Chain A
């Protein structure tokens, strides 16, 4: 396909559901291939469809035409697995603060033009089209995003009471789904909100205290190694986060980091 090629798909004979749209979608064969925007016209889109169902309709038609369908990641389609996520008209997950799978076509109107692109950050290389590799996030968790408690070694669950306010705040941070919208939205491609969410979750729980200092220095060192940018407190991350992880987590991380460094904690090399 060429950038100027227009591929018109649709089902002209079917009952009209409403919207005709122009999609401009990033197509890229593989990690090292050169990508480009390709334009598609799509007709007969119901406002009740989810954004991904709209892409399903496009792909069904592309397959039948013998064209390569658009690769995109998705799984649970109920906003919790964190697998989906694309830039829609330049916004991570589109115009609403939700996951791409929970965005519905009623957020658009007939005749709209929609640009669809993958997350753009060098630590998230494109696999194909809109699908990117986010394993850098797993490696940040590997660096310390856990409490070391081998199975079978736990004391009774009521042995350590946890103040409700701490537990609730820990929960709020722990709802991060690891989708990567924060990185995609950040002008610096920083992963600070992702890392801060985990540091906050575990740092608020009494069970997380023994490893608190090492955790923060090692997770920060790993996100630097992965090539994520530095945090300059712009706040685009939190504004794009479908789970509303707050900027306070970043303040908490910075506080923990300073405390850890003062206490002599240093990252493992």
Chain B
């Protein structure tokens, strides 16, 4: 590895989890050892929460209920829009309501294994413990989960697990859980404990005496850039899948809050761990603005196939049975079409690379329900998947009851994020990171129905408990906009904003975003190589240079300017993209969603290198022109047995 790409610094470690007691006692022990803030003092403490998805919405509501003064920020018009709303499948919890052998320990074990042994045991165990409280909380809020005729909650098996631990609300579980958190948040806004800042975007972090003390934010309607202060800052701004331009994320989802915090000193962990979801609707044309996911529950009854012959462009129904390759059933007889997401995605890429893909550009595979319709009857298939079939028909104009669906993988979730300790505190004291924005629980691959679980675990239960240990030293000395650190941060944001407007070149933010996204998809997507990643890094540096010399953004910053918003986000995506490639390049092993072509088994499966890479890569930002610094957090497995994943 050439020296110029990165340097290695001091190792990093979590010091908060009490490892002197057994893993099942560590969370309660941490809560006991942690310090508390008495209710009268909470009123004197202010906490900024950025984002109102499952993590941020639930945290802001819970902190407000506890008596803190909360300032909540979101970029949409209403907190109910946060992209958690789009999660379809469900939420895991170790309730063992099915009496099928589930337990906290099994959920813990499955999650660490599913993450391909790159997650921190202590955090995952706590997640499994807290999972049961989330369901209780949501039901009490009136979340209309699916129920059985006896009135009790229904469960299903999800994402290849052998127990039924997934709670769901048809295909709209994220929406219903988010509305539960949103309503709790609105209740606190009405009670006056939470101050609302709608359509306001965080653009920098303010650090005073080594502590996170506020943010710089832009009101997207008036354009006003202002400073906001608090005793602690919580970032819950979600993931960064939109670095790929096309992803299943909302158009506004961005990395800006965590990236600017990273540039202020927060380490960024495992940026290259991205999840590519196998069942999305394929790209139609160069005008495509986003990708739409179809719940992977479809793979319970749909059969995935491509033609045996490359370049076979007959309509699907004209291809006889013996000329079809049901490649997942062929390669993985035990799991068949239900292999984990990373494997299903990569095999789709492989058959398309062989020239056997279907649809426009050969970038698609069939997901065929003909056999299920014959076996179960059309009404039964309609009852199970009707809304998904309708959605598919709406977008593609094709009838999936008659012709097989075409699907292709798409970027869906980012396991990487800002590094946090057991208390969910970043490397900047007083800045906490929760939900998808942090890195902590999913290792190199997230299991289905675990994102909602983690967002709500962090927001309802973990953060509100751990943050009091930090705030017990507060309230901290009052800071206002005249503080030199605030002045510097505010001016920096104003200057960068003006700079974006001044370039007045010939390319739009979207044009740069598309180019970056295509490059990331080609070279830092489902399969990564040493050569490709080096090429990507060189190219990203060129894109960055061109961006800052040839960007065109009209209008000014003193008004509602959506082009300007996009430009600022693309600037950060470009820098993040480079770090993702450096991280992917340095990790010369395959694990979970990170597949390095140089590291595979003879059968073509991901090959981990536990001896050299069983660590979290936490990156420290360095000023432009200097290589980022790698800090390793060693991963030790006391309770889970390291093994090669096998789904054969």
Contacts and interface: CB of A to CB of B under 8 A. Distances in A.
A67 B563 CA distance: 12
Contact of B65 (A17, A57, A150): A150
Contacts of B626: none
A142 to B, nearest CB: 4
A101 to B, nearest CB: 9
For A71, A106, A162, the residue with the greatest tally of chain B CB atoms inside 10 Å of its CB is A162
Nearest to B82: A81
Interface in B33-70: 58, 61-62, 65
A38 B632 CA distance: 58
A106 B182 CA distance: 36
Contacts, number: 215
B139 A81 contact: no
Interface in B360-417: 391, 394-397
Contact of A127 (B144, B151, B560): B560
B552 interface: yes
Contacts of A53: 287-289
Interface in A65-112: 66-69, 71, 73-83, 98, 102, 104, 106
B78 A135 contact: yes
A178 interface: yes
Given A76-B83, A155-B140, A147 B183 contact: yes
B136 A154 contact: yes
Q: By DSSP majority rule, is chain A's interface helix, strand, loop, or mixed?
A: loop
A69 B563 contact: yes
B428 to A, nearest CB: 26
For A77, A133, A134, A178, the residue with the greatest tally of chain B CB atoms inside 10 Å of its CB is A77
Given A50-B289, A63-B552, A158-B152, A81 B81 contact: yes
Given A64-B552, A164-B148, A171-B176, A81 B508 contact: no
Contact of A46 (B95, B287, B396): B287
Interface size class of B (residues with CB under 8 A): 35 or more
Contacts of A248: none
A98 B393 CA distance: 13
Interface in B541-566: 552-555, 559-560, 562-563
A17 B554 CA distance: 28
Contact of B77 (A17, A76, A134, A145): A134
Nearest to B143: A174
Nearest to B396: A48
A128 B564 CA distance: 15
A151 B287 contact: no
Contact of A175 (B175, B183, B221, B397): B175
A228 interface: no
A76 B250 contact: yes
Interface stretch (A19-27, A184-192, A201-209, A257-265): A201-209
Given A77-B251, A151-B461, A60 B508 contact: yes
A141 B510 CA distance: 36
Contact of B140 (A66, A67, A102, A153): A153
A25 to B, nearest CB: 15
Contacts of B144: 167-168, 170-171, 174, 201, 205
Nearest to B167: A157
Contacts of B508: 60, 63-64
Interface string B227-253: 000000000000000000000101110
Given A63-B508, A145-B183, A167-B144, A81 B554 contact: no
A184 to B, nearest CB: 15
A104 B139 contact: no
B85 A154 contact: no
Contact of A167 (B147, B288, B292): B147
Interface string B556-586: 0001101100000000000000000000000
Contacts of B560: 30, 71, 127-128, 131
A167 B142 contact: no
B298 interface: no
Interface string A193-205: 0000000011001
Nearest to B198: A135
B135 interface: yes
B534 interface: no
B150 to A, nearest CB: 7
B140 A138 contact: no
B187 A158 contact: no
A93 to B, nearest CB: 12
Nearest to B507: A64
B285 interface: yes
B460 interface: yes
A224 interface: no
Given A56-B289, A154-B140, A157-B95, A164 B151 contact: yes
B172 A175 contact: yes
A49 B85 contact: no
Interface size class of A (residues with CB under 8 A): 35 or more
Interface in B585-630: none
A208 to B, nearest CB: 5
B136 to A, nearest CB: 4
Given A52-B289, A81-B86, A167 B250 contact: no
A141 B554 contact: no
B136 A64 contact: no
A37 interface: no
A202 B139 CA distance: 11
B80 A178 contact: yes
A155 B135 CA distance: 10
Nearest to B560: A128
B562 A56 contact: no
Contact of B151 (A83, A147, A161): A161
A138 B79 CA distance: 9
A69 B78 contact: no
B496 interface: no
B169 interface: yes
Contact of B183 (A17, A49, A141): A141
B198 to A, nearest CB: 6
Nearest to B253: A75
B153 interface: yes
Contacts of B562: 69, 71
A143 interface: yes
B169 A30 contact: no
A157 B285 contact: no
A134 B251 contact: no
Contact of A148 (B85, B187, B511): B187
Interface string B443-457: 000000000000000
Listed from nearest, the 7 A-B pairs whose CB atoms lie closest are A161-B151, A154-B140, A146-B183, A142-B190, A171-B144, A154-B136, A157-B139
23 contacts: A49-B285, A53-B288, A53-B289, A63-B552, A69-B554, A76-B81, A79-B391, A81-B76, A81-B80, A81-B81, A102-B391, A104-B395, A142-B187, A143-B190, A146-B186, A147-B183, A152-B460, A154-B139, A156-B136, A160-B139, A161-B147, A168-B147, A171-B169
Given A146-B184, A147-B142, A151-B461, 9 more contacts: A60-B511, A76-B81, A78-B292, A81-B250, A102-B395, A146-B183, A148-B187, A151-B62, A207-B141
Interface of B: 58, 61-62, 65, 76-81, 83, 85-86, 95, 97, 133, 135-142, 144-153, 169-170, 172, 175-176, 179, 182-184, 186-187, 189-190, 198, 221, 248, 250-252, 284-285, 287-290, 292-293, 391, 394-397, 460-461, 464, 506, 508, 510-511, 552-555, 559-560, 562-563
